Structure 1
């Protein structure tokens, strides 16, 4: 399918392409391999702020600070365990990080409240443009998969809860490699699972650190900066950035 045909199909998905705002570095001079697949960080497709809303019901007035500390410890514990060869899956690490964050703020969570907050990560709401974009990419024959630090059970519950599971060719959890992004072994699961070389897989990152890791690995990388945060001060950067899946669609079709 030609680039023009691709853009026409994607634009027909509820006006998805709209006014494209793709910015940032462009693909390397000399062109880019034909794109045959997209791997997504989950938060490019799902709004992570749902966790804070769940926390507000448990810790009124403290949810933002609790979730900030919780998120920081999630990353720290995941990477600490991976580095120390003490791997546990992301659901376990999420619980550990919550225990720390609650304790640090003097909160005593019941077992039911703890389960409720951990479960919130598997009950996120898709961004408004998610389904239309995935449907459009499926129609033009691109292979699609999340490539996530979520445990397999968390990933399956999230996609099933949102009714999106059937739109993906695989559900890639870094648990298969018993590590976490940004390890190259985690990103390497994408080409293996999809049967497509890394040069033909666009990686859509939500976090700047994930964009750097994917670029280091060798994916054509797009940073979907949904929340308009500052870029990381790292030597690697995404090939392009944007704020919506319309921007990502234009990058894939370029």
Structure 2
């Protein structure tokens, strides 16, 4: 295995805590599962765009699928309220383990880059508002590729842009589908076992696993 040099991080749920947005959305739609339904509906239609060869950024897909959810649940959440809920994704706080872990990894000499399905402008605002931009060499979005993770070309385009190879790159996420996609593209992978998340059993076992990013950072800095 080549010496690890570059670490790519997924953002939503991996670095940032979505629970405040989840609580507000569930309240607005009067359904304890509204946020989860919307999140997976958004991913589903992002992947539909992959399949049919189109690309609308994730903000556009998120807006469209929240409107769909409103209809599916038989609710009448106003467009203004929906926009208010969608804007919350720009100001999420990081999980408590994230800043100390990033500091540890940066101190150890790793190149750190975020790589998200969110639009580039949103990604930059998220990292700035969360206070994570200072740890990152670059903030990247699939806007660069015009295709969503977990398509293999998204990861490969990102590491090519960063002048790295798959073998020397680690991708870290809290989503089984994202870890599976990165592994399929030939990257080393790390899975953060956040509450409610699970690995895809038919995908390769991640190179590293831990309950928190700090656990992964400890593993990586003792290599």
Counterpart position of 2:6: 37
Counterpart position of 1:55: 25
Structure (1 or 2) with the larger CA radius of gyration: 1
CA distance in structure 1 between the partners assigned to 2:57 and 2:205 by the alignment: 28
Contact kept? 1:172, 1:193, Cα under 8 Å: no
CA distance in structure 2 between the partners assigned to 1:214 and 1:115 by the alignment: 32
Q: Which structure is higher in RCO with an 8 Å CA cutoff and minimum separation 6?
A: 1
Query: What TM-score do you get using the length of structure 1 for normalisation?
Result: 0.82
Unpaired runs of 5+ residues, structure 2, are: none
Contact kept? 2:153, 2:185, Cα under 8 Å: no
CA distances 1:138-178 after superposition (whole Å, capped 9, x unpaired): 22221111111011111011111112222211111011100
Unpaired runs of 5+ residues, structure 1, are: 1-31
Q: CA deviation at 1:77?
A: 0.5
Pairwise CA RMSD of aligned residues?
1.6
Q: CA deviation at 1:189?
A: 2.9
Counterpart position of 1:222: 190
Aligned length: 221
Counterpart position of 1:108: 76
Return closer, same or farther for 1:233/1:140 CA change in 2, 3 Å cut-off.
closer
Identify the range of structure 1 (82-91 vs 131-140) with the bigger mean alpha-carbon deviation. 131-140
CA distances 1:61-106 after superposition (whole Å, capped 9, x unpaired): 42x3211221121111000011101210111001111111111111
CA distances 1:16-50 after superposition (whole Å, capped 9, x unpaired): xxxxxxxxxxxxxxxx2111111011122111222
